[in-house]
Amino acid sequence: MKRKVYHSYLLLEIFVAIALLAMCVAPFIEILPKTLKHEILTLQHLELSRISDVEFANILADLHSGKISWDTLSSNKKTELSNHEISLPKILAKRPFTKTCQIRRTGKLIRNQQEESCLVLIKINFTPKTDPKFFAKFAPLIDSKNQKENRLTYSYKVRVSKPA
């Protein structure tokens, strides 16, 4: 009668199996933190874009209501409307940003019989107060000029008529 031969695993075989398993799993573990970091950067960019859109709507409402005087637009000079610190929700960023809003006329004043109007450029800049290379992380999202200056700029052009 034949005896059954039991084969036991050597310690070396177990180590090789664990190493192969680790090499297969390691790339998937590495992807998660990078994906999370990129997602947070994208959310920060979206939140700054939302804040910029709200500020643009407020400036446009002030232009139409007359809170921003028409004399401001009569000259072709840049006029700084606001400069203050903002903070994003803590889950997105722990760093504060400085938001500056500038307005200037880009075209000629157009005078019709009934109204005066002009083309206006509104720039809203965000500059991080603490991290000097913060916007370098946004490399695929912003252009290289603003990356070097370490600010994120949103520009809006709109035709504005003089309030009655």
Closest CA relative to residue 151, chosen from 123, 128, 121: 128
Residue 144 Cα distances to 42, 50, 68, angstroms = 17, 22, 32
For 119-145, what is the mean pLDDT?
71
Give, in order, the Cα–Cα distances in Å from 136 to each of 36, 91, 152.
Answer: 17, 20, 10
> 114: domain range?
11-161
- Angle at the Cα of 144 from the Cα atoms of 60 and 45, rounded to 5 degrees: 50
Q: What is the pLDDT of residues 23-46, one digit of tens each?
A: 988 888 888 888 888 888 888 888
Q: Does 139 reside within a domain?
A: yes
Question: Is residue 119 scored above 60 in pLDDT?
Answer: yes
Whether residue 90 is contained in a domain is answered as: yes
Question: Mind listing the pLDDT tens digit for each residue in 149-161?
Answer: 678 889 999 888 8
Q: The tokens 């002009």 sit on which residue?
A: 118
Question: Residue 2 falls within a domain, yes or no?
Answer: no
How many domains is the chain partitioned into structurally? 1
Mean pLDDT confidence for 117-131 = 84
Work out the pLDDT band at 111, boundaries 50, 70, 90: confident
Q: Looking at residue 19, what is its pLDDT?
A: 94
